[in-house]
């Protein structure tokens, strides 16, 4: 028996759930799990349906298409296919280390194809897990030339997603456009507050009582892409900026791993500049 997930994103209409589930029954597919959500402010319907059975993808999707209103999007993904990621890093190890360990022990069902660093600091850590590490220095080279080298390596692995695990460089529009909705970033702040560089120091100057981290898809608007996951940690007046940095690292790695898990399990719908998680 195969396991697949039907993802439906369309204008809301009467009887959609019944129509979709009846088609699943017609094709003798067992519904293992189903979640749906309607954004009443926009009239948009989202549904994630885990199915088991013997699939004829072409005829099944043809029937689904006939049941959905105009302007609909649907996809049928193999629930058992392990997705591939390439991770981009600079020098900080906590986010990369957490993903490597969770992939190693099975907490994250992912194929880490390679790690690319603009410093070679994390090469030894990566290679302990028998994962290729590519060092592509950004020093004394133009930004686009550096990115072209990185893109060439990424393309050689054909990943589903690119993870920025504390990759401390702003990506050019050309790079972002090449991988739409495929780049996942961890920002060391509770967005939309304190975007850009040194957010913990910005937070310290404002005397905040909480700090946090945000994982989001990368767009050309700096740190303003659709948010996948967030979490916070309470701080107080006794925390220095350096204390906030240390406190934030545990939040960062947890949020990034959680966000990656949601994406890998096809639970994230991107709609406009926000996400729906089912």
Q: Supply the residues annotated as catalytic.
A: 223
Extract the tokens encoding 271: 């709609």
Spatial neighbors of 120 by CB under 8 A, at least 6 apart, are: 133, 135
d(CA 265, CA 22): 24
d(CA 92, CA 257): 15
What SS3 state is found at 100? helix
Q: Which of 252, 249, 256, 261 is nearest to 106 (CA)?
A: 261
Q: Which residues pair with 153 in a beta bridge?
A: none
Extract the tokens encoding 266: 């096809």
Q: Which of 113, 115, 110 is nearest to 126 (CA)?
A: 115
Which helix (H) or strand (E) is 124 found in, with range?
Answer: helix 123-127
What SS3 state is found at 201? helix
Task: Please report, for residues 18, 65, 207, 275, 278, the alpha-carbon distance to residue 62 in angstroms, rounded to integers and kept in the order given.
Answer: 17, 5, 56, 27, 24
Q: Which of 112, 57, 44 is nearest to 264 (CA)?
A: 112
Residue 253 and residue 163 in contact, taking contact as beta carbons nearer than 8 Å: no
Looking only at the bridges linking them, the beta strands covering 133-135 and 110-117 are parallel
Extract the tokens encoding 244: 């906030």
């Amino acid at each position: 028996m195969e396991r697949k997930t039907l993802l439906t994103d369309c204008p809301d209409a009467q009887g959609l759930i019944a129509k979709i589930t009846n088609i699943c029954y017609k094709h003798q597919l067992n519904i293992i799990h189903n979640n749906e959500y309607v954004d009443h402010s926009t009239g948009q319907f989202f549904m994630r349906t885990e199915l088991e059975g013997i699939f004829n993808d072409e005829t099944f999707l043809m029937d689904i298409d006939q049941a959905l209103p105009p302007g609909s999007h649907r996809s049928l993904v193999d629930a058992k296919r392990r997705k591939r990621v390439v991770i981009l890093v600079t020098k900080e190890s906590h986010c990369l280390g957490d993903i490597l360990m969770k992939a190693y022990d099975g907490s994250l069902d992912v194929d880490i194809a390679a790690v690319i660093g603009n410093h070679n600091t994390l090469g030894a850590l990566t290679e302990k897990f028998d994962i290729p590490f590519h060092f592509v220095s950004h020093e004394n080279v133009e930004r686009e030339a550096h990115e072209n080298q990185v893109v060439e390596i990424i393309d050689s692995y054909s990943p589903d997603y690119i993870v920025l695990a504390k990759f401390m460089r702003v990506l050019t529009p050309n790079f972002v456009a090449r991988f739409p909705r495929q780049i996942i970033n961890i920002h060391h702040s509770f967005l939309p507050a304190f975007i850009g560089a040194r957010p913990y120091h910005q937070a310290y100057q404002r005397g905040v009582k909480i700090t946090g981290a945000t994982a989001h898809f990368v767009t050309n608007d700096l740190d303003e892409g659709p948010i996948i996951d967030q979490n916070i940690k309470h701080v107080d007046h006794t925390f220095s900026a350096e204390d906030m940095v240390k406190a934030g690292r545990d939040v960062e790695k947890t949020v990034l791993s959680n966000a990656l898990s949601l994406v890998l399990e096809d639970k994230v719908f991107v709609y406009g500049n926000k996400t729906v998680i089912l």
